[in-house]
Amino acid sequence: MKTLFAASLLALAAPAFAADGPTVQKLLSDGYMVAGVMPSPAGPGILLVKADSLYMCFVAETPKSAEITTQYCKAVK
C-alpha cells in the first residue's frame, strides 16, 4: 500500500520536474534552434542547438490535452 501511495505522489510530481528544468519553450526563447526531430517510445524527440550546446527534449500530448508539453530535456555531452 505504501508503494502505491509513493508511486502516486511521484506521478503527480512528475510534471513539476519538467517545469523546473529546461523546456522546449524556454530553450527556443533563449535562442536555441530546432536541429532535428525523431520519433521515440518516450514521445517525439526534438534536438535543439545553440552554438556548441545541444539539448534533447521529449514532448507528449493526449487527444484531450489543450497543448503539447515538455516531458523533459537533457543536455547532450
The confidence band for 1, taking pLDDT boundaries of 50, 70 and 90, is very low
Alpha carbons 57 and 77: distance in angstroms, whole number = 14
The predicted-structure confidence for 23-77, as pLDDT tens digits, reads as follows 999 999 999 999 999 999 988 999 999 999 999 999 998 889 899 999 999 999 9
Look at the pTM and tell me if it is higher than 0.75: no
- Amino acid code (one letter) for 19: A
Burial class (CB in 10 A: 0-12, 13-18, 19+), 27: buried
